[in-house]
Structure 1
Amino acid sequence: MSVFIQQLPALIGVVIGALGSYMAVVRGDRMRFRREQTARWEERRLTVYAEYAQSVKKTVTVTYRVAARAGVDPYPDPLSLEEAQPLLAEASIRRDPSGEALLMLGSREVVEKARDWVVAAMEMERFVREGRDDRAAWQELLERQRAGREGYYAAVRDDLGLPPGHSARWPLPVMNPVPPQR
């Protein structure tokens, strides 16, 4: 028998081992790349979800202030509708691009819950722009907005695989409503 034939099983073992090592490294790199890519998209979605929430919340906060001025909300920092107009416009302008990013990157459920929340916020804005002072209607809008917000956050947490969070509903001390300042 020649020396080459005697060495052939060892040579075949080295080739098979090298191919196996190469395949394991390539597969590991692919898996790591996918994990990193998934993590980057999740971070980006979290950013988009948070920016959208902040833009809707801006509208909500301004409407609280105007409603406080009309005497239907106990918010401690009342604001006239005239003073609120630029703030409402700014909130709407900010909400549009964040809404587009949400449509692009958000899951269907998150987008649907975002729509529910923003519709309630827009109805609150319409309420204060019309100068209404119906406390019961305002309370109903507040409840819809709070439920919309809670649904949005629950959908975001579910989409990102986060544990359930706080509902952000805690009792506030009852305050005497501020009389309307017209």
Structure 2
Amino acid sequence: MTAFLQQLPALIGVVIGALGSYLAVVRGDRARFRREQEARWEERRLAVYSEYARALKKTVNLTYRVAAHLGNDPHPHPISPAEAGPQLAAATDGRDPAGEALIMLGSREVVEQAREWVTAVMAMERFMRSGTVDPDAWQDLLARQRACRERYYTAVRQDLALPPGHPALWPTRPASDG
């Protein structure tokens, strides 16, 4: 019995060490799981944000081309409203599911900026569908759409803790040599 009592402190030390080691491993695994889960959600949100932007840009590019056909935009590849119709319908069909995923996974700020951007794009669509020939009004719509796009990307970068990016505001008309 005395031998057992002499070894009891060592046995207690082994049990405490094993318990401490177990707790450290469990805490480490939980922290790693949380980090991995956060990284997966960030990757998924980035994919949703990117898909929404791509879907919206399809519509934007088509409106540029139709506006060029009408004489409002300098886009080098004009397309008639009739030719653009099926492509615009497909772009809208692709935009809706991307928007639903954005609403589900996006932050409030990103979703709000996406709503403003799509509202600007829809104004461009209405202008184009009306057949209006007014290059100055078209340029105002373009400026609004570009500002909304920039705010969307800024909100995305803030949500994902990314560094500031390029505003992507470059001239769309050729520079004159004079």
TM-score range, shorter chain: over 0.9
Q: Given that residues 74 and 173 in structure 2 are in contact (C-alpha distance below 8 angstroms), is that contact kept between their aligned partners in structure 1?
A: no
Equivalences for residues 39-118 of structure 1 within 5 A: 39-118=39-118
Q: Structure 1 residue 112: deviation in Å?
A: 0.3
Q: Structure 1 residue 137: deviation in Å?
A: 1.1
Aligned equivalent of 1:179:
none
The one-letter amino acid paired with 1:92 is: T
The one-letter amino acid paired with 1:56 is: L
Identity of aligned residues (%): 69
Q: Structure 1 residue 136: deviation in Å?
A: 1.6
The one-letter amino acid paired with 1:9 is: P
The one-letter amino acid paired with 1:137 is: A
Q: Structure 1 residue 174: deviation in Å?
A: 2.8
* Counterpart Cα distance in 1 of 2:173 and 2:128: 23
1:120 partner SS: helix
Q: Given that residues 72 and 135 in structure 2 are in contact (C-alpha distance below 8 angstroms), is that contact kept between their aligned partners in structure 1?
A: yes
The one-letter amino acid paired with 2:32 is: R
User: Which digits, 9 at most, give the CA deviation of each residue in 1:114-170, with x for residues without a partner?
Assistant: 011110001101101000111121111000100010000000010001000000012
The runs of at least 4 aligned residues of structure 1 exceeding 2 Å deviation read 171-176
Aligned equivalent of 1:9:
9
1:89 partner SS: helix
* Counterpart Cα distance in 1 of 2:8 and 2:157: 58
* Counterpart Cα distance in 2 of 1:33 and 1:67: 51
Q: Structure 1 residue 171: deviation in Å?
A: 2.6
* Counterpart Cα distance in 2 of 1:137 and 1:129: 14
Equivalences for residues 112-151 of structure 1 within 5 A: 112-151=112-151
How many residues matched? 176
Residue ranges of structure 2 left out of the alignment (5+ in a row): none
* Counterpart Cα distance in 2 of 1:73 and 1:148: 19
Q: Structure 1 residue 173: deviation in Å?
A: 4.3
* Counterpart Cα distance in 2 of 1:65 and 1:56: 15
Q: Structure 1 residue 51: deviation in Å?
A: 0.4
The one-letter amino acid paired with 2:156 is: V
2:162 partner SS: coil
1:147 partner SS: helix
User: Which digits, 9 at most, give the CA deviation of each residue in 1:45-82, with x for residues without a partner?
Assistant: 00000000001000000000000011110000000000
Higher relative contact order (CA 8 A, sep 6+): 1
Aligned equivalent of 2:31:
31
Q: 1:118 to 1:84 in 2, by over 3 A?
A: same
Q: TM-score, normalised by structure 2?
A: 0.96
Q: Structure 1 residue 172: deviation in Å?
A: 3.8
Aligned equivalent of 1:180:
none
